Amino acid sequence: MKRLTVFALGLMILSLADLSAIAQDDVHVKTGIINGRAVSLPKPAYPQAAREAGSEGAVAVDVIVDEQGNVVSAVADIYDQRVRKDEADTPAIIDPALRQAAEEAAKQAKFSPMKLGDMLVKFSGLIIYNFVGPTAKVTSGGNRGGVLNGNALVLPKPEYPAAAKAVRAQGTVTVEVTVDDQGNVISAHAVSGHPLLRQAAEMAASGATFSPTTLSGKPVKVTGVLTYNFVLPKTEQ
């Protein structure tokens, strides 16, 4: 009887260990826009056929990143992200060639590993790529340099950090951004606002995209600011 009990206990311990390993392997953290988290974010090649056809738009690629920071899955949304979710218009469908180019670029991206406690975990999020054709026009306010919120083609909303909610932190965060000649944010640094809200604002700003700004007909880099207003829900105020 004792031997049987020990054998049964051994099976139980093995089963619990196996379940623990499976549970750790299945941990998967879902995030938002992760352009700003990338260590390396290659730009997608603009397919010549798509360029000649005038195809353009903002492509969102849903990626899964493994424990080492490598992209193991990349699937592009079929819709143009330039039409915001709160708008009534039906979003346009992105050229399949642009979606494929965005997926191929996303697979080459590299990220800082994510930890949950002391354990490295997989995570998922969106990488935004902006394809702008050679005939695209600059949106109103072409001479940028001030507040850029109204000029964004894609302007992700920041997530409200749990730590900030816990201490009832709220208010406006101002993020200084540098936008490259393709309209992508290449630098985002919060210059004002509550410390617990700044990182969330910076991550959201990193995912914003703009129409390129031109100077004498040539695309140029620009700097400006994005502002984010964090307001606690009434139930938490």
Q: What is the pLDDT of residues 24-82, one digit of tens each?
A: 556 788 887 787 788 888 888 888 888 777 787 778 899 999 999 999 999 999 887 76
What predicted TM-score, i.e. pTM, was given to this entire model?
0.54
162 within 8 A of 212, measured Cβ to Cβ: no
Q: What domains does the chain contain, in order, with CATH numbers? A: 27-135 (3.30.2420.10), 137-237 (3.30.2420.10)
Of residues 97 and 82, more confidence is placed in 97
| For residues 15-24, average pLDDT | 48
Q: What is the pLDDT of residues 172-191, one digit of tens each?
A: 888 988 888 888 898 888 88
Can you give the pLDDT at residue 26? 63
Number of C-beta neighbours around residue 79 at 10 A: 17
In sequence order, what DSSP letters do the residues of 119-136 get, joined into one string? EEEEEEEEEEEEE--TTP
